[in-house]
Structures are given as structure tokens and as C-alpha cells.
Structure 1
Amino acid sequence: MLALQAALSLRLSNTAFQDEALYLTAGHAELSRLLHGTPQPINYAAYFSGSPQLYPVLAAVVDGRFGLPGARMLSLSFTLGTTTLLYCFTRRLFDERAGLAAAALFAVLQSTVVMGSFATYDAPAMFLLSLTTWIVVRTAQAPAPAVLLAAPVAALAVGVKYAAGLYLPTIVALALLTAWPHHGVKAILRPVLLILGTGCLLALSMGGTELLAGMQQTTTNRQHGSDGALSLLQQSAKWGGLLFLTAVSGAIAYARRSSLSESPLTTPLGSSGRGWRTLLGLLLCATALLAPSYQVYLGTVVSLFKHVGFGLLFAAPMAGVGLTRLVGAHFRHPHFGIALWTAALCLGIAQSDWRFGRWPDSTTMIRTIASDVNNQGRYLSSTPEVPAYYLRHKAGHRQWQSGFGMEYTNRNGTRYTGDEAYRAALRDDAFDLIVLDGVTNPRVDRVIADAVKSNPHYRLLAHLPFNVSSLRGDSLLPTAPKTKDNGRYRIWVKQ
């Protein structure tokens, strides 16, 4: 299963996505600050959705030695570790067959496959959540203080990615449920200790720092978007609906009958009663709804495909139960299980292919602009993170301006914001190089392109065609176009 998961992730190929480029660039800047005292070009902590001192630094160390493929391999190692830990704690909750089935379904999810080839902090955060869950389940029979072993791992998970905190209540509840059959009422002490331990560590690490401001800006007080609730629910169902429905069926079957093993000598953990089994099923299945519900509240589809995977990590054990019940004792109906897993595999392959084709290959663009970039100029780009990463030895991150908002003050002291800021800056020849892709933010790109064309001091350097997947992606199995160029880089330089 792990070999298949690795193969599915390793087959994905594209140049750096803007998030990958941003985190790796930030990691290199943090390394330079730590090793040489170099001032930070940008205050990353104020707007990152995870601590820039954690994953970005680790990824930058790997990137410095092995490049982007090495950083992506680091993510793959984390996702493989997540699948392994999922198998381990599912086996302890239920049995061997459920553990294998849960791992098999989770390994082929779009979220799992993509995060295994994506140099962002999602993969390590998910690994740390799965490690926290395994510790909680593994220490269920131990004395209550043993649960404190999970506290530093849980705190680290939140530090790596603030949104991981959304799943801590599930882990706390799991600490109570898994210990209840062994300790009864005394099990209540375990979640209390876990909350206190994790809370104290988070307070010590984030109190009085800019990390708290970053958490508020990107997670707790995030700006609401305009994506519709129905569209977000449809996307969530497309990316994780099959596993979720399997988990729900498993929860129902488990609540009705606790025995999961073909051996009559096996005593399942759920022997404490139907109420306990029902609560466990509800907890694990409901966790899969947290990310879609929160993003419906925020009205944004940004990162939804990854966040869905976090919730499905907790629903996967019940999906494993559902798959084993579908197959039946003594593998009575193996064809049902094979059909279900094959459907999950086909969805994972098609959706991950589409996901990795959503952004253009920047190889030719970087090669084209490399000779025009130096440490003195100012540059405007639809996705400045990408050239800032690939050309970081030629120009600093602060020299690049994005198409997602700008402030500009001209020579007379007049201040402009938004679209007018781009127009005023281009009237004043403020940028030495302009790179537009027409895909990332088409409206602003049109504003910039019109302003550039009306300025005779800029000349068009190149038109570079590229392919991207359909931006709609409404079908269940979206595919990227194979032959037709459906996008282009437009590059201008100041004469």
C-alpha cells in the first residue's frame, strides 16, 4: 500500500506552485537570518498560516541540498508516515483487517496523493496529528499521565499549521472514549490533562509573538470569501464523499454489532456497549465535516482539497470498518471491496492529475527573464513567489510585487491603492519587468496589461504558451487538455 501511495505521488510533476515557492523562499530567508543575522525581507510570521520557523526552515535545508524534488520527497515521507500511523491506531481501535482497509482507502485519496508531492506544511501537520492520535490510542490502558506524551506533538502540529487546531477537540474526545472501557469514570482525567498540557505549550510558544497575529489573520479571523455554500459542498463531496459514505456505513454497522473479527476468541474494544460504539462512530465521521463546514462559513474554496484530507484521516478508521463489513467474514464478497477500492483509486488518480495541472509550467518563463533580473530592479508578477524562489540568488523577495493588492506613492506624494496603484506605478515606469499569466488573477492582469500597453517605455519581450487543467473542474473525473495551449505568459521589460 505504501509503495502504491508513493508511486501515485511520485508520478505527479510540475514546477513549483506559488505556495511551495513562498514557503521555501521564507525558509531560506529564515535560515539566512539564523546563520548570518540577515534581516528578513518580509515579516512572514504576520501572515503565514503556520510558523515560518518550523516547516519552512526544514524544507529549505532539504531544498538547499536536493532542490524542489527533495522538498517534495520530504512531504512524501510525512504522508507515508501518516498512512502507517493510521493503520496502527485503526488496528488498535478495531482489528487488523480494518487497519489495512483504512490505510488502503486513505492512501489513494486526492488529498493524500497531492500532499505527498507538495512542498507545503500540510503533510507534516497531518503526520503530527496522526502521531498525536496514535499516542492517545496507544496509551489508553496506561495511567492517565501517559497521555501527556501527546501534548508536545499536538502543540507542534498547531505550530506547523494553525488549522490543525481544528482537530484537537476530536483527539481530546478520543482520549476519553478509548480509555473509558479500561478505566471507567477515571478516564475523564485524561482529556483534562491533554487540554492543559497542550494549552500551556501553545501559550508559552505563541504568547507575545507575531505568530498569534498570523494565526488570527489566516485562521481564526480570516477574511470571508464569496464562494457559494452549494459549490463548496459539491467540491467536498467530489474529493472525499466516497470515503465518507463508507465511513458512515461502517459506523452504522459497528453500532449495531461490535464483533469485527472472524475469531470468536477476539474481544473487541467496543464490547463496552452500543452507546460507546455509537459515540465513537459519530466522533470519527463528524470530524470529516469540520473542514467543509468551516470553509462554507468562510465562503472560500482556498485549500479545501487539502483540508478535506485532514478530516478524512479521522473518518478513515470507520471507512476501514465499512469496507471489511462489505467484504464480509471469510472474504465472502471480495468483489464488493475490490470495486469500492478501485473506484477510490480511479478518483484519486484523475483528481490528483487535474490538481497538479492547475498551474503553468514556469521553466521557460524563468529561463526567459533570468538575464533581466538583478538585485537592483523592481518586478511585477501574477505569481511573484515563483520567480522569487527560482531567482532568489539574483533578486530578493521584497523586489517582487504581486497582482493581489498594491499601495503606491508617486513622486508628488500622492498615494494610490488597488487598481489605481498599478496604473500610477506603470505611468511612472516603476517596474523593470512585468510577468502576467492571465490565470491567477485575470481581472487585475487585464488592468496591468492595459496600463503597460499605453506606456511606450515598455516593450513586449515574449509570449510563452502553456497548458493548465480546466479551471471549472465540475466533472467528477476532470482531465487536463493534452494538446491545446490555453494560456500564455506575457512578459514586458522597460526599455
Structure 2
Amino acid sequence: MSRLSLVGDGNALGHPVRTPLWRAALASFLPEAARTRADVWLARLPLAGVLLLQGIIAVRLNNTAFQDEALYIHTGHSIIDAWRGGEAIYGHPEDFFSGAPTLYPLLAAVLDSLGGLTLVRLFSALCMLSATVAVHWATNLMFGDDSRFRWTVQPGIFAALVFSLSASVLFLTNFATFDAPAFTALAWAIALGVASVRRPYTLVWAGAAGLLCALAVLLKYSSAIDVPFVFATILVTGWRAARVRAVGASVVGGLVCLAALVGSVLTWARPLLAGLGFTTTHRSSMIPQPPAHLVSQVFSWDGAPLLLILAGALVCLRRRPILVTLLVLGTVAAPAAQIRMGEATSLHKHVVLGLVIGAPLAGVALARLWRTGGGGTLATVVIAWATFLFGASQAHTMFGNWPDTTALKNELAYSIDAMPWIRMVGDTPEPVQYALQDRTENWQWTSTYDGSFFYKDKSGIDAYRAALEDNYFQLAYLDGSQQASSQLMDEMASFGFKETSVVRTPYTDHAWHIWQRFEKLD
């Protein structure tokens, strides 16, 4: 039986390892001819348990569509409708999306048509569960054959546990954006790339790793920051055992990735360059925050996994200094770049990008502790349990950070049914626009984002005032979250609008004030 398997616990070079006592005991009840096959399945049980736990915690997270989820899915529907000869795409999503609009949004729209937001989020869950498998495999490939550690339990299962139970990973496991497939592509690029230096068909798997890296970048541009670490890890991991193969795999993977990206830019992806600059390479924080505050946020979400990664780095630093340095730098590169910019938006997602690379070190830390037996085993269990409780709690908190828009949708639906062609202006319209996409057209919705609306050669607050004065809008729903809306809320009556209702979210003090046009007051 080959020990180089996705979920096996043998080492990466095919050296047999001692069968754990619990597996030997369970297999002993079976006929001798069936024991080997049963042991293969028993070896997969720990990882299956980790995946089951990750899935259960994630699907219990519940809220209406977040702004980004709604935007991507609705944009995908708009692109498909435009291709079918329907209404032209409203705006230019390639100018402000941080990933290619014709990749994930299209898939999300198809899934939404088949099963709604639940199915789109289920796709993210499958992606992140798959990423956990990739982390498990990659960890065993990188560290499982190190005889100096004499593992009693391979570190891959602990790496998978730490990765899957981090708050940010649990959050993305039930979050319908391009982050989950992009980070999963990177996780599998690492696993396949490292495996390519252990297999005879190096170029095939190295090329696959390169294509996955290119896909990750196209899905989410900021993924590019960790791509160099993928190929450097391939090179360093295989350097001691097969230097020529390691060099070949890293070079081929890098060239394939570069060729795929350059080919895309020269053909279908050329219009994406403007969005790449706006959202990624030349991005600036709209509301800068102190680095110390952002660092504290990162540790409040995923402090336990990050500390375990640091512990694993200390354990392995003397034996594998170059590899450890690469993994640590890959862990902090993406979040550090955003912290330096002072931007809090999506910071927790970039922590996941780092965990994809750094989780193997956390696995080594726990496996080393487990190996000591006695108190070490108990300490490992306590740490794993604390990580589970901390991650599950923080993920629940993160998933409740945006208001439930169910009541707002129902209130707006009533007005839309009464006046089907009503034109509306409001704060964060994407969730309700997505929820009511079968009843409205894109032109009926206007946001209050700074710099997003122009009317009669006016912009900003002056444009909204002129439009409200001219009856351009017949309904407004404002919560004061944007600068324009906070100013307009005190002026609505002067434009002939009457406040008809106040919609509050369950268990919070968040409220939308709804005004409808009646007549101009003198």
C-alpha cells in the first residue's frame, strides 16, 4: 500500500510508520484478509472527523446576504442577462472588483439560480473543506518524513484541525465570495507542488500547481502576494532529497503560472487591469486605522492558530531554518501588507491566506507536544479544545457583524408591489437589491457611497439634494452609515418626503428610516 496518499498517515517518502494502537485494536476484530483495507479507512477517520466538525460549525452560521455576497451574485446574473441580450450590465464591475467578474460571479449566479444563497454558500463550504484536506496532505509531505521527530501521530491531522477551527476559516466556509475558491486553489497548489518533487511525474503536478496559482490570482488579485512563497516552498521542501527535481518543479510551476496570467492579460483579462490597480496595487484606505489596532483585531480573531504557528516555527527552526522562514513570511505577508495600509476591510480574509501557508507549522507544534505523552497529550487535547471554542465563538460573532435585512426587504417589497417602477436611494443597497432582483431592475437602485452618484453636473451631497428635489427618487431608506445619508436624514421633509416607517433588525439597535415622496412642502 502506498503511503503517499491524501489522507494517509505514512510519511512522504513511502517509509512505513507504526500503526496507531487504536487502529490496530479496531482492525483486530476483522478477518486477516480485510485488515489492511479496513486500516486504510480507519486512517481516514480523524481527518473525516475534523471535516465534519468544520462543516457543522460553519453551516450553523446564519445571516442574510452580506454586501459582497449580494454584489457578486447579482453581478453574475446581470452578466448572464446581458449575454442573453437583456439589459446591459449596470456600471463596469471590472473597474472595482478585486477579482475577475466573469469567473466567480458567473458561477455564483448559476448556483443561485439552482439553489439560492444556501447553495452558493455550500460551494464555499466544499472549497474550504477541500482546503483543509490540502493542508493536511501538504503538512505530512513537508514534515511527516522527518525521522528526527519520530512522530507517534503525523502532524497533518493537527495542522488540519488548527486550520479548520480558526475563526476566519470557519467564517469563509459559509461565506459566498471568491475568497474560498481562491484560497483553496492556493492550498492545493502547495500540496501538489510539494508532492511533485516526491513523484516521478514531476512536471505534470508542478504544471497543475502553476495553473492553480494563476486561477487563485484571477479569482482574487491579492492572492498574488503568496504565490512566490508557493514555488519557494516547493524548491526548499525537495532540495535535500532531489535537488534537480525540486528546481525543475518550482521553475515549471512558476513559468506555467506566469504564462497563464500573461496570456489572460493579453486576451480576455485586459479590461481587468483598471480594477487591479483600484482594488489592489494602488489601493488606499478610506478610513485609516492604527496598525496596533489592526494587529489586535487579527489576534482577537485568530490568535490561537497564529501562536501555534509561532510555536511550530520555534520547534523546527534549527532543523529546517529556510523552510520555516518561508512559511512564517508567507503567513504574515498578506495581513501585514493590509495592516501597513491601515485598512480593516477584509483583513480577516487575508489572515486565512496566511493560514493556508503557515498551518503546517501549527501541526508540527501540536504533534511534537502530543509525542511527549502523558501531560503533553493532555495539553494537546486542551489546546485543541480551546481552539475549537475560541474559533467557533469568534466565527459566530464575525457572521453577525452586518444587519439582517429580512425586515427591510419585506418593507421595500410592499412599496415596490404598489409602485413597480419606483426609484430608490439607500445605504448599502446590494443585499436588498439581490433579494428583490426578480421584482426590480438595476436602474431602480442608487447607493449613497461617496462618489457613486452624479446628477445634473453635480456630485456628492449636492447631487442627492437636486435629485430628491426633482422627484428623481420616490423612496429613500437610510441608516446614517454613509456621510451623505447622515446629512440627508435631517433634510428629507424639505424635499417633500414623509417618514413612513422605521425598520429595526432583530436583537440589535440598527434601524433604517424609510421616507416616501408625497408632495413638496412650501
TM range (shorter): 0.7 to 0.9
- Equivalence for 1:205: 264
Whether contact under 8 Å (1:408, 1:424) holds in the other structure is: no
- SS, match of residue 450 in structure 1: coil
Would you say 1:424 and 2:466 are equivalent positions? yes
Instruction: Report Cα offsets for 1:298-330 as digits up to 9, x if no partner.
Output: 211000011111101111100000111122245
Shift of 1:32: 1.8
Confirm or deny: 8 A CA contact 2:446 2:453 kept in the other structure: no
SS of residue matched to 1:52: coil
Matched, 1:409 2:455: yes
Q: 2:382 aligns with which of 339, 349, 371?
A: 339
Q: Secondary structure at the match of 1:463?
A: strand
What corresponds to 2:298 in structure 1?
236
Give the C-alpha shift of residue 254 in structure 1.
1.9
Report deviation, 1:218: 0.6
Show the 5 A alignment for 1:218-367.
218-225=279-286, 226-256=288-318, 274=319, 277-330=320-373, 333-367=376-410
Q: Could you say which residue in structure 2 is the equivalent of 1:368?
A: 411
| 1:444 counterpart (484, 495, 502) | 484
Answering whether residue 231 of structure 2 is matched by residue 172 of structure 1, we say yes
Mapping for residues 123-142 of structure 1, pairs under 5 Å: 123-141=180-198, 142=200
Which residue number corresponds to residue 25 of structure 2? none
What does the per-residue CA deviation read over 1:141-188, in whole Å, with 9 as the maximum and x for residues that have no partner? 346533122121111111111111111011010121122123225633
The one-character-per-residue Cα deviations of 1:350-375 (angstroms, maximum 9, x if unpaired) are 21111111111111111111132366
2:203 matched to 1:145? yes
Corresponding residue for residue 454 of structure 1: 494
Query: How much identity, in percent, do the aligned residues show?
Result: 32
Q: 1:452 to 1:199 in 2, by over 3 A?
A: same
SS at match of 2:154: helix
Match for 1:157 among 216, 219, 237? 216
Deviations 1:450-485 (A, max 9, x none): 221322x21212111124xxxxxxxxxxxxxxx5x4
The structural deviation recorded for 1:428 is 2.3
Q: CA deviation at 1:416?
A: 2.0
Taking the aligned partners of 1:47 and 1:394, their CA distance within structure 2 comes to 26
Contact 1:381-1:401 at 8 Å conserved across structures: yes
Between 76-85 and 399-408, report the one with greater CA deviation: 399-408
**What's the counterpart of residue 174 of structure 2?**
117
Whether the aligned pair in 2 keeps the contact of 1:419 and 1:444 (CA below 8 Å) is yes
- 1:78 partnered with 2:127: yes
SS, match of residue 504 in structure 2:
strand
TM-score, scaled to structure 1? 0.87
Residue 454 of structure 1 aligns to a residue whose secondary structure is: helix
Provide the rounded CA distance (Å) in 2 between the counterparts of 1:223 and 1:364.
Answer: 34
Structure 2: runs of 5 or more not aligned = 1-49, 145-152
1:465 is aligned to: 504
- Once the 2 structures are TM-superposed, how far is the Cα of residue 431 of structure 1 from its aligned partner? 1.0
| 1:493 equivalent in structure 2 | 516
The aligned residue for residue 264 of structure 1 is none
Secondary structure at 1:118 match in 2: coil
State the match for 1:479 in structure 2. none
Unaligned 5+ runs, structure 1:
257-273, 468-482
Counterpart Cα distance in 2 of 1:198 and 1:303: 25
Aligned mates of 2:341, 2:491 — CA distance in 1: 33
Q: Is the 1:236–1:305 contact (alpha carbons within 8 Å) kept by the matching residues of 2?
A: yes
2:13 aligns with none
- Return the letter of the residue paired with 2:249: R
Whether the 8 Å CA contact 1:427–1:451 is kept in 2: the answer is no
Q: Which has the larger radius of gyration?
A: 2
Equivalent residue, structure 2, for 1:475: none
Which range is displaced more, 344-353 or 18-27? 344-353
Say which is worse superposed, 292-301 or 167-176, in terms of deviation: 292-301
Counterparts of 1:68-107 in structure 2, within 5 Å, are 68-95=117-144, 97-107=154-164
TM-score, normalised with respect to structure 2:
0.83
Residue equivalent to 2:443: 398
User: Aligned partners of 1:291, 1:236: CA distance in 2, in Å?
Assistant: 12
Distance in 1 (CA, whole Å) between partners of 2:216 and 2:420 is 36
**Contact between 2:428 and 2:447, CA under 8 Å: does it hold in 1?**
yes
CA distance in 2, matches of 1:321, 1:186: 25
TM-superposition CA deviations, 1:192-225 (whole Å, max 9, x none): 3222211111111123621111111111111234
- Alpha-carbon distance in structure 2 between the residues aligned to 1:396 and 1:205: 32
Q: What residue in structure 1 maps to residue 62 of structure 2?
A: 13
Q: CA deviation at 1:60?
A: 0.9
2:53 corresponds to: 4
**143-152 or 384-393, which deviates more:** 143-152
AA matched with 2:299? A
How many Å separate the matches in 1 of 2:215 and 2:410?
39
- Distance in 2 separating the partners of 1:53 and 1:9: 27
Segment drifting more, 236-245 vs 180-189 = 180-189
Q: Which amino acid aligns with 2:474?
A: D
1:75–1:117 CA contact under 8 A, matched in 2: yes
Q: What is the Cα deviation at residue 409 of structure 1?
A: 2.9
Deviation at 1:246, TM superposition (A): 1.2
Counterpart mapping for 1:175-190 below 5 A: 175-184=234-243, 187-190=246-249
